[in-house]
């Protein structure tokens, strides 16, 4: 029985085998959905991005030079699709002062941490959000983030540290207000 490697599936998909492409894409579909959802905060829009990512990636899989970066390449396409959808629908979410000042009552303390983290991530700029998502949701290295976002390594580091500082400050502000 022949062992099928991811690299051989990618090479086959690059030659036009849609079945092998589908096998590969399905392995990363959930990560693509999560990435899109963090950007769009809407299930239907995130599903649209998954579909658009599948289309764009199938159409351009022949341009993938390094099979080991397949997931990174897909995530980059998903981010691009998410940003395109935000621009198209002009649904940039801005946190107004009205919402920033809403604080949880003591009874609401058991809200899941993930929800709080998503809200915190929403306070970041688009570039900061991208770096945080790639670093902590997809566990990419700074070098991989640099490649995905096509920015210098120094910029990736600066954006990451700036975003982390903003998140720390936001958490600190929340703690001060709740006491």
Same domain, 120 and 88: no
Distance CA 55, CA 33 (A): 14
Q: Please determine, for residue 113, whether its predicted confidence score (pLDDT) is greater than 60.
A: no
Same domain, 5 and 17: yes
pLDDT band for 137, please (50, 70, 90 cuts).
confident
Same domain, 113 and 167: yes
Distance CA 53, CA 165 (A): 31
pLDDT at 3: 56
pLDDT at 97: 52
Same domain, 59 and 146: no
Same domain, 74 and 108: no
Same domain, 45 and 108: no
Which residue among 65, 92, 119 closes a domain?
92
Q: Please determine, for residue 157, whether its predicted confidence score (pLDDT) is greater than 50.
A: yes
- Please state the rounded mean pLDDT for residues 139-155: 90
- Report yes or no: 20 and 13 within 8 Å, Cβ to Cβ: yes
Same domain, 51 and 5: yes
How many domains is the chain built from? 2
Same domain, 42 and 87: yes
- Please state the rounded mean pLDDT for residues 141-157: 91
Residues 6+ apart with CB under 8 A from 166: 123, 124, 128
Q: Please determine, for residue 115, whether its predicted confidence score (pLDDT) is greater than 70.
A: no
Tokens matching residue 141: 């290295």
Q: What is the pLDDT of residues 116-129, one digit of tens each?
A: 667 778 888 888 98
What CATH number is attached to the domain comprising 163? 1.10.10.10
Quote the percentage of the chain above a pLDDT of 90. Answer: 45
Same domain, 83 and 102: no
For residues 178 and 44, the model is more confident at: 44
Mean pLDDT of the residues in the chain: 81
Same domain, 99 and 175: yes
- Report yes or no: 79 and 107 within 8 Å, Cβ to Cβ: no
Q: Which domain holds residue 115?
A: 94-179
Which residue among 76, 92, 108 closes a domain?
92
Same domain, 84 and 151: no
pLDDT band for 2, please (50, 70, 90 cuts).
low
Which residue among 57, 73, 92 closes a domain?
92
pLDDT band for 102, please (50, 70, 90 cuts).
very low
Q: What is the pTM of this model?
A: 0.66
């Amino acid at each position: 029985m022949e062992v099928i490697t991811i690299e051989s599936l990618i090479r086959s998909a690059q030659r036009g085998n849609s079945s092998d492409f589908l096998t590969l894409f399905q392995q990363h579909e959930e990560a693509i959905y999560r990435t899109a959802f963090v950007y769009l905060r809407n299930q239907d829009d995130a599903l649209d991005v998954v579909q658009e990512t599948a289309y764009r990636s199938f159409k351009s899989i022949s341009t993938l030079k390094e099979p080991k970066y397949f997931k990174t390449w897909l995530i980059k396409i998903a981010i691009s699709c998410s940003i395109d959808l935000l621009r198209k629908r002009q649904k940039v979410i801005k946190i107004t002062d009205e919402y920033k000042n809403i604080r949880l009552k003591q009874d609401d303390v058991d809200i899941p941490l993930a929800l709080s983290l998503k809200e915190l991530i929403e306070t970041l700029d688009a570039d900061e959000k991208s770096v945080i998502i790639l670093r902590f949701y997809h566990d990419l290295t700074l070098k991989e983030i640099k490649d995905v976002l096509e920015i210098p390594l120094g910029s990736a580091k600066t954006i990451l540290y700036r975003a982390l500082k903003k998140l720390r400050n936001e958490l600190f502000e929340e703690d001060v207000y709740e006491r």
